[in-house]
Amino acid sequence: MQQEHKGMEQAKSLWLAGSQKYSFPAVSEDLTADVIIVGGGITGIAAAFEMTERGLDVIIIDAEQLLQGTTGHTTAKITSQHDVYYYELIQQIGMPKARLYVEANEKAKDLIQARIKEHDIDCQLEIKDAYLYTKEESGVKKLKKELDAYKQLGIDREWKTKLPFDADIKAALAMTNQAQFHPLHYLNALIDKLLERGVRIFEQTTAVDVKEGNRPAVVTKSGHHLTGRYVISCSHFPFYDGKGLYFTRIHPEQSYVVAARTTKPLPDGMYLGIDQPAHSLRTAEWHGEEVVLIGGEGHKTGQGGDESAHYEGLETFGDATLGIEEVLYRWSTHDMVTMDQIPYIGRLTKHHQNIFVATGFRKWGMTTSHVAATLIGDLIEGKSNPYESIFTPSRPVTDSFVKDFVKENANVAAKLISGKFKRTDQTIDDLKPGEGGIISYEHKKCGAYKSEDGNVFLVDTTCTHLGCEVAWNNSDRTWDCPCHGSRFSITGEVVEGPAKKPLKRSYKEQ
């Protein structure tokens, strides 16, 4: 395997490379609109598009730049095959609701394709079958249950015992007629349309609060008020909690992707291995050439140990499966997961009539972002929507999820205190250039990064969101919070929320 990564742009996704189309100003005055959308990823853009289809005037704000969050780092399979999921979902919410879940996602998939066709969007859309596969006997059992669920739910499917790229598999389950695309080409085309429709877009504008009322106002870090009839939180982790206790109900999960030239082409299809560590495969176009995206190695954010080991895991798997000629890009990001694995889409809490949220897509946000757009559009228009009760964030949780909930919180609580009292003997001198870690400095523990030219950047490792201890991510050179997924730069600036304030830098640097 070649591991030289020649010409590779570190930590920038294949989608983001060369797709930066717009730059928007920051908000500099108080403004009003029908709908204020916070967050400019696929959820915010899809919601804005839907609102304008319904004749509403929209403002979108983003804390950084549009499409640079999780959306810019996805693998962009447009599918209702959400891993091995439906057998469990039927047990959890019953057959009628599970059918509605599939229907909602299939409609969302069709909506994306219809928009691409209607607006003649060139975004490398390709119809493909989506495969789950296993090399283990225990996996075959799981897949057989999932096949049974597909039959009961009426999902078009195929069962296979061989795949063209890997003779060793024991079984595979295909969901037919799914799709893949270039997410940023699609979303940039939607942004073109939004601008034509008069949508006002602002970047470098962080929402920090909402003044609730008949006309809720989003308050920005710069102190401006954006007042609307409705507010939609599309900020990935909800920027405003409104006593919804979201910080106890969702957690971030990190995943990695490698884009590579391979010696053997990936046979037609999109693939997801269900054995651990799970690996995903799809093709993508890169400067007119077909390359392969190898994804997976997921874990809770900040809890995966050495990040480079996960990239190596992907590359070893990619090399064994298709032969890697050259790695072009590597990137990682996280997505939010809810306690019962079903997204939260709808009113922020049952007391909020005009503040909505869409989050917790569990790495399947291409379709679920569009489920969110139409569902929230219907709620705003006072129309009934068959999917409301499945996705409402106010849904009751069953006992088993309460247990998981407690376990999750125990995990978060452990992360809150873990490391706080741990001593370290490591000092600045122990760090090599280009390396970061927790060190002891002037008898205090702090986070340090030593740059290639020897400059040292020190930060307080207490996350400014809820006080967990951040961990060093050596691949992306960020400080990552294991509790709710905030990420900070080497100088402590917020790279990704929910944290809104930078890490403290109360130390004098070298």
Ligand X SMILES: Cc1cc2nc3c(=O)[nH]c(=O)nc-3n(C[C@H](O)[C@H](O)[C@H](O)COP(=O)(O)OP(=O)(O)OC[C@H]3O[C@@H](n4cnc5c(N)ncnc54)[C@H](O)[C@@H]3O)c2cc1C
Sort residue 346 into left (φ over 0), alpha (ψ -120 to 50) or beta. left
Ordered strands of the 435-441 beta sheet: 435-441, 444-450, 456-459
Per CB under 6 A, the list member of 178, 188, 206, 486 interacting with ligand X is 206
Per CB under 6 A, the list member of 14, 130, 257, 470 interacting with ligand X is 257
Q: Does 74 bind ligand X (CB under 6 A)?
A: yes
Q: Which residue in this structure is represented by tokens 């919410």?
A: 93
Per CB under 6 A, the list member of 11, 37, 41, 194 interacting with ligand X is 41
Q: Does 371 bind ligand X (CB under 6 A)?
A: no
Task: For the CB of residue 335, give the shortest distance to ligand X in the complex, in Å.
Answer: 4
Q: Does 497 bind ligand X (CB under 6 A)?
A: yes
Closest CA to 216 of 245, 244, 197, 242: 242
The residue range among 105-113, 120-128, 363-371, 457-465 that interacts with ligand X, by the rule CB under 6 A, is 363-371
Q: Does 269 bind ligand X (CB under 6 A)?
A: no
Q: Does 436 bind ligand X (CB under 6 A)?
A: no
Measured in whole angstroms, the distance separating CA 213 from the mean position of its chain's CA atoms is: 30
Closest CA to 232 of 80, 151, 345, 73: 345
Q: Which of residues 127-156 bind ligand X (CB under 6 A)?
A: none
Question: Whose Cβ is closer to ligand X: residue 79's or residue 439's?
Answer: 79
Q: Does 210 bind ligand X (CB under 6 A)?
A: no
Q: CA quadruple 402, 404, 410, 411: dihedral positive or negative? A: negative
Per CB under 6 A, the list member of 181, 361, 391, 479 interacting with ligand X is 361
Give the CA distances from residue 406 to residues 179, 249, 409, 412, in Å, rounded to whole numbers and listed in that order: 37, 10, 5, 10
Q: What is the SS3 assignment for 283?
A: strand
Residue 79 · residue 175 · CB < 8 Å:
yes
Question: Which residue's CB atom is positioned nearest to ligand X?
Answer: 365
Q: Which of residues 223-252 bind ligand X (CB under 6 A)?
A: 234-236, 239
Question: Whose Cβ is closer to ligand X: residue 237's or residue 441's?
Answer: 237
Q: Does 216 bind ligand X (CB under 6 A)?
A: no
Q: Which residues of 292-313 are buried (b: 16+ CB within 10 A; e: fewer)?
A: bbbbbbbbbbbbbeebeebbbb
10 Å Cβ neighbour count for 235? Answer: 26
Task: For the CB of residue 440, give the shortest distance to ligand X in the complex, in Å.
Answer: 33
Q: Does 42 bind ligand X (CB under 6 A)?
A: yes
x/- map, 52-71, ligand X, by CB under 6 A: ---------xxxx---xxxx
CA-to-CA distance for 234 and 282, rounded, in angstroms?
27
Residue 42 · residue 361 · CB < 8 Å:
no
Task: For the CB of residue 102, give the shortest distance to ligand X in the complex, in Å.
Answer: 14
Q: CA quadruple 317, 318, 323, 328: dihedral positive or negative? A: negative
Question: Whose Cβ is closer to ligand X: residue 377's or residue 419's?
Answer: 377
Q: Does 335 bind ligand X (CB under 6 A)?
A: yes
Per CB under 6 A, the list member of 37, 40, 201, 375 interacting with ligand X is 40
Per CB under 6 A, residues contacting ligand X are 38-44, 61-64, 68-71, 73-77, 206-207, 234-236, 239, 255, 257, 295, 333-335, 361, 363-367, 369, 497, 500
